[in-house]
Amino acid sequence: MINLMNKYPVKTITPLEEDYPRMLRYIKDPPSVLYYRGDIKIASNICISVVGSRHGTGYGKWAAQMLGRKLAEYEIVTVSGMAAGIDTYAHKGSLENKGKTIAVFGCGVDVCYPKANKDLMIEILENGLVLSEFPPEFQPTNYSFPIRNRIISGLSTGTVIVEAGISSGSLITAEYAADQGRNLYAVPGNINNIYSIGTNKLIKDGAVPITVIDDIIDELGLKRKESIQLKKTLGKDEIAIYEAIETGSETTVDSICKTTRKSAGEVNAMITVLEMKGLIYSCMGKIFVAK
């Protein structure tokens, strides 16, 4: 940790300086001083924030990770709060595709919260930026997180809410984004899923729904890159399984067995092969399409 402190020392920046994040200058109450570690210049690039519930479902984590990856593919900076759950996966997705990512803390930039994300924080320091308006050694408190949410939305041209319960903190971020006149996107979910109530409601109130991951690219006015047709390399049975996963929303091994009329053993074997090819992804017993 001491070595990291030397490598990525805490620096400060004020609105009077040139490198102060561009988009942050235009919000109502920009922080008068920002503490940061890492490369501050990336905060003036095009940023999109991806936030959501700390718990979330496998679906939410998948969506966050995919968004992170997609944004990194187009060299867009992913901003998030490095909280457990959705935030973590947004950062991870971006880092996986060698993208830049910014973590905005509700505590000092030398405090790692939650502690479990220590490795992730090091990775973010190496490939991006950690910033906060709270001085070093400031411990996380329940009021500091809502305040920092305005920085998350303020840094970005748009904010994506991936999953939010009825009283999720990410709804505060959504409110800030709307106040600041930034774009607001939400990932729709099943209406019987409590973590999607918040996001579905946002869509009802006018947020732009992300119906496929590429929507975020279209919204930003960028041209879609052609994705490689990996499906062509698959065998007949593998395609049957892949399609079953593609058409079912939150598929489990049991549901794939039912649609493809194969035994659990066969299905499990093929899932591994598809996973190794990077086509699908499983989380907490559910299986998703990865691309």
Partner 1 sequence: MLSKVYTTSLYGIESNLITVETDLNNGLPALTMVGLPDITVREARDRIRAAIVNSGFKFPAKRITINLSPANTRKAGSHFDLPIAVGMLAAIGEVQTYKLDQYVFIGELSLDGKINGVSGVLPLVLGARDAGMKKIFVPVWNMEEAVLVSNVEIFPAEHLKRVVNHINGVALIKRYLKEENHSAVSLENKEDYADVIGQNNIKRALTIAAAGCHDILMTGPPGAGKTMLARRLSTILPPMSEEEILQVTKIHSVAGELSKNKESIGERPFRMPHHTISPLALIGGGTKLKPGEISLAHHGILFLDEIPEFNQNAIEMLRQPLEEGEIRINRMSGMVTFPAEFILVAACNPCRCGYLGDSKHECICSSAQIQSYKSKLSGPILDRIDLQVELMALNYTEITAEHSKGLSSREMAMNVANARNIQKERYYHMNMAYNSQLKGQYLNKYCYLDKETKGLLTEAFEKMGLTMRSYYKIIKVARTIADLDEKENIELKHIGEALQYRKTDNESMGL
Yes or no: say if 117 and 146 are a contact pair by the CB < 8 Å rule. no
Burial class from Cβ neighbours inside 10 Å (0-12, 13-18, 19+) for residue 263 reads exposed
Smallest distance, Å, CB 203 to partner 1?
A: 18
The nearest distance, CB 170 to partner 1, in angstroms, is 14
The size of the interface with partner 1 (CB under 8 A), counted in residues, is 42
Binding to partner 1 by residue 12, rule CB under 8 A? no
The residue whose two tokens read 């905060």 is 43
Q: Provide, rounded to whole angstroms, the least separation between the CB of residue 49 and partner 1.
A: 20
Q: At a CB cut-off of 8 Å and minimum separation 6, what does 273 contact? A: 238
| Residue 67 vs 270, nearer CB to partner 1 | 270
Shortest Å distance, C-beta 287 to partner 1: 10
Q: Work out which of 1, 16, 228, 276 binds partner 1, going by CB under 8 A.
A: 276
Reduce the DSSP state of residue 86 to 3 states and report it: helix
Site string for partner 1, 24-63 (x = CB under 8 A): ------------------------------xxxxxx----
Q: Which stretch binds partner 1 (CB under 8 A): 100-108, 170-178, 179-187, 269-277?
A: 269-277
**Residue 269 binds partner 1, judged by CB under 8 A:** yes
Q: Of 270, 279, 280, 290, which lies in the binding site for partner 1, with binding defined by CB under 8 A?
A: 270
Convert residues 147-166 into a mask of x (bound to partner 1 by CB under 8 A) and - (unbound).
------------------x-
User: Whose CA is closest to 90, among 176, 178, 156?
Assistant: 156
Binding mask 87-106 for partner 1 (x = CB under 8 A): -x------------------
| DSSP assignment string, 129-179 | EEEESSPTTPPP-TTHHHHHHHHHHHH-SEEEE----TT-THHHHHHHHHH
Asked whether the beta carbons of 77 and 106 are under 8 A apart, the reply is no
Output the smallest distance, CB 157 to partner 1, in A: 29
Between 33 and 166, whose beta carbon lies closer to partner 1? 166
Helix 264-276 with 253-260: angle, nearest 10 deg: 110
Among 34, 16, 2, 270, smallest CA distance to 150 is for 34
Beta bridge partners of 281: 288
Q: Which residues in the 188-207 window bind partner 1 by CB under 8 A?
A: 190, 192-195
Please state the closest distance from residue 19 (CB atom) to partner 1, in A. 33
Residue 140: name the closest of 165, 112, 167, 116 by CA: 112
User: Does 235 engage in binding with partner 1 (CB under 8 A)?
Assistant: no
Q: Token pair of 197, please?
A: 């109530």
* Spatial distance between the Cα atoms of 260 and 181, rounded to a whole number of angstroms: 48
> Whole-number minimum distance, CB 116 to partner 1, in Å?
5
In the complex, the residues that contact partner 1 under the rule CB under 8 A are 54-59, 83-85, 88, 114-116, 165, 190, 192-195, 250, 252-254, 257-258, 263-273, 276, 282-286
